[in-house]
Amino acid sequence: MIEVFDKTYPQDYLDGLHNFYLGGRIKWTFLKDCAYGDDVEERGGTIEIPSFSSVPVGNKQIKDAETLKAWSLAIYLNQDLFGLEALDLFRLRIGMQLPLLMLEKPLHHNPHTDSPEEHMTVLLYLTDTDGDTFFFDDDGDIVERITPKLGRAVKFNGNHIHASSSPTNGTRIAANFNYLVDKKDKLPPL
């Protein structure tokens, strides 16, 4: 199930995160592809769409303690709003995508899941822009399309195949929270 929530985080907090990520203080890492990083060919990607990434938490390890401080309220609210335990957070990745100058721009990027392990995902958009997130069924057909909006959160089974898309103008910034699921609390089928 894909759930969309608006106005769940305090507006002044969202504005602060928005300004923090667009203010030039973040050390962004360049990725060859927004879905598959630098492993596009190895993971079977069909296109390469570059992006930038900041990863405060990766593989259940703090990668950037200073940046993680900015996310403490969101992690707390995710626990309260969505029932996701802070200690189950195994990855927090913030992705930034810019408009692309391509003759034939794809509708969406490489469809993927964030991890093969059973997990829940919360996407939190930090900008108002196009650059929708697409969700697919097992046949690869689009079943849902969600437009980024500052403060919009999308909660879904992280094993649901999804893909981002590039904005046509402006900057698309989204925080991707991935939480492990306790094996006794299996997720419902997709």
| Mean pLDDT, residues 17-45 | 88
What would the pLDDT profile of 134-175 be if each residue is shown by its tens digit? Answer: 999 999 999 999 999 999 999 999 999 999 999 998 999 999
Q: What is the percentage of the chain residues whose pLDDT exceeds 90?
A: 73
User: Where are the chain's structural domains?
Assistant: 3-23+34-180
DSSP helix/strand/coil, 120: strand
What would the pLDDT profile of 63-90 be if each residue is shown by its tens digit? Answer: 999 899 999 999 999 999 999 999 999 9
pLDDT at 169: 85
Q: Is the pLDDT of residue 186 over 90?
A: no
The rounded distance, in Å, linking the Cα atoms of 56 and 64 is 5
Give the confidence band of 181 by pLDDT, cuts at 50, 70, 90.
confident
Q: Is the pLDDT of residue 187 over 80?
A: no
Please provide the average confidence, as pLDDT, over all residues in the chain.
91
The rounded distance, in Å, linking the Cα atoms of 109 and 169 is 17
Going by C-alpha positions, the residue among 167, 84, 68 that lies closest to residue 123 is 84
Count of beta carbons in the 10 Å neighbourhood of residue 32: 15
pLDDT at 104: 74
Q: pTM for the whole thing?
A: 0.91
The rounded distance, in Å, linking the Cα atoms of 154 and 114 is 15
Question: What is the domain class of 3-23+34-180 according to CATH?
Answer: mainly beta
Strand 3-5 with 162-163, pairing: unpaired
Give the confidence band of 42 by pLDDT, cuts at 50, 70, 90.
confident
